[in-house]
């Protein structure tokens, strides 16, 4: 009986810690050598998977403080909402960030409100795509309102679109897709603009079909979210799942992606800021925003 008591106590302690960690917001700093040699750095704030509800005041206050980082560009990779009335809370939380140059795509939880599910469903592995079922129900979140608000503040919608921005005197080219997890993505064969100072691919979920296409088309940097970094991670093992077909080793952070003999792309996957309201826990995977410091390529050194 004693081993069962110890196991129950350990499980209770682990759950209590995981609930606390879900509120332990942090800013990650990553250097990406992706610009032309000798280029002045660009600071890019990557936000993802906020999963906001109106009563998450601590998260909202923390987000408002991110404007103090003074990024040159904000990249939002979706899943902003987790409640029907969350749009005003999201806008207040992003605050002054909305006055900066920005781009965005949406994820499934910008369209569909979260529903109670058996958490063991996600531990089975696989792609996480729900064919039929969940995504056949009516879109019930105010995604059009959110899209209009972002666009009116000057952020560029990249849902199955290309776009360009001039940032700090540099020309940036973008390609984006609507959520691959919902199979809303529409991929084209337009190569990265060779005249741009940098070309960036933006998606919510880092499915391999998207990463492969953009690497083959010459996009040096790809940014995504969706995975929550695994949300539950084990020491010396890492993420248990990614909820897509990306391998567990790249569930969060900066990595390389390459197909065939194409030049490798940098891939940044954000572990995100939130959780489903029905599973408000994280373990060994603090909620995060990431400040990417894009620098000139130095062929004499390697970061990975």
pLDDT (tens digit, 0 to 9) for every residue of the chain, 304 residues total? 555 444 444 445 555 677 899 999 999 999 999 999 999 999 999 999 999 999 999 999 999 999 999 999 999 999 999 999 999 999 999 999 999 999 999 999 999 999 887 666 666 655 545 444 456 789 999 999 999 999 999 999 999 999 999 999 999 999 999 999 999 999 999 999 999 999 999 999 999 999 999 999 999 999 999 999 999 999 999 999 999 999 999 999 999 999 999 999 999 999 999 999 999 999 999 999 999 999 999 865 544 4
Got the DSSP string for 194-248? TTSSEEEEE-SS--HHHHHHHHHTT-SEEEE--SGGGSBEETTTEES--SSSS-G
Which CATH architecture describes the domain 2-296? 4-Layer Sandwich (3.60)
Round to whole Å and give the CA distance between 20 and 40.
39
Task: Report the Cα–Cα distance between both ends of the chain, in Å, rounded.
Answer: 48
Tokens for 135, please give them. Answer: 């995504």
pTM for this structure? 0.93
Q: In the chain, what are the domain boundaries?
A: 2-296
Strand partners, 221: 200, 266
């Amino acid at each position: 009986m004693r081993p069962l008591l110890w196991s129950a106590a350990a499980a209770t302690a682990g759950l209590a810690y995981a609930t606390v960690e879900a509120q332990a917001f942090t800013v990650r700093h990553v250097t990406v050598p992706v610009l032309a040699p000798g280029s002045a750095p660009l600071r890019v704030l990557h936000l993802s998977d906020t999963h906001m509800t109106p009563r998450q005041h601590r998260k909202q206050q923390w987000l408002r403080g991110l404007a103090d980082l003074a990024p040159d560009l904000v990249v939002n990779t979706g899943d902003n909402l987790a409640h029907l009335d969350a749009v005003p809370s999201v806008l207040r939380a992003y605050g002054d960030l909305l006055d900066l140059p920005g781009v965005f795509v949406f994820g499934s939880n910008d369209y569909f409100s979260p529903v109670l599910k058996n958490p063991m469903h996600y531990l089975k592995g696989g792609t996480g795509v729900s064919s039929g079922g969940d995504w056949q129900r009516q879109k019930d979140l105010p995604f059009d309102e959110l899209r209009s608000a972002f666009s009116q503040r000057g952020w560029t919608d990249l849902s199955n679109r290309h776009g360009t921005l001039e940032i700090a005197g540099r020309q940036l080219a973008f390609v984006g897709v609507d959520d691959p997890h919902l199979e809303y993505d529409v991929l084209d064969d337009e190569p990265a603009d060779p005249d741009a100072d940098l070309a960036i691919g933006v998606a919510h979920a880092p499915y391999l079909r998207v990463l492969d296409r953009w690497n083959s088309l010459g996009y040096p940097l790809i940014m995504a979210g969706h995975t929550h970094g695994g949300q539950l991670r084990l020491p010396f093992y890492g993420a248990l799942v990614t909820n897509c077909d990306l391998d567990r080793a790249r569930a969060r952070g900066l990595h390389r992606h390459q197909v065939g003999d194409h030049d490798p792309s940098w891939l940044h996957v954000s572990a995100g800021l939130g959780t489903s309201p029905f599973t408000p826990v994280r373990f060994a995977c603090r909620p995060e925003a990431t400040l990417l410091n894009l620098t000139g390529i130095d062929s004499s050194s390697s970061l990975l």
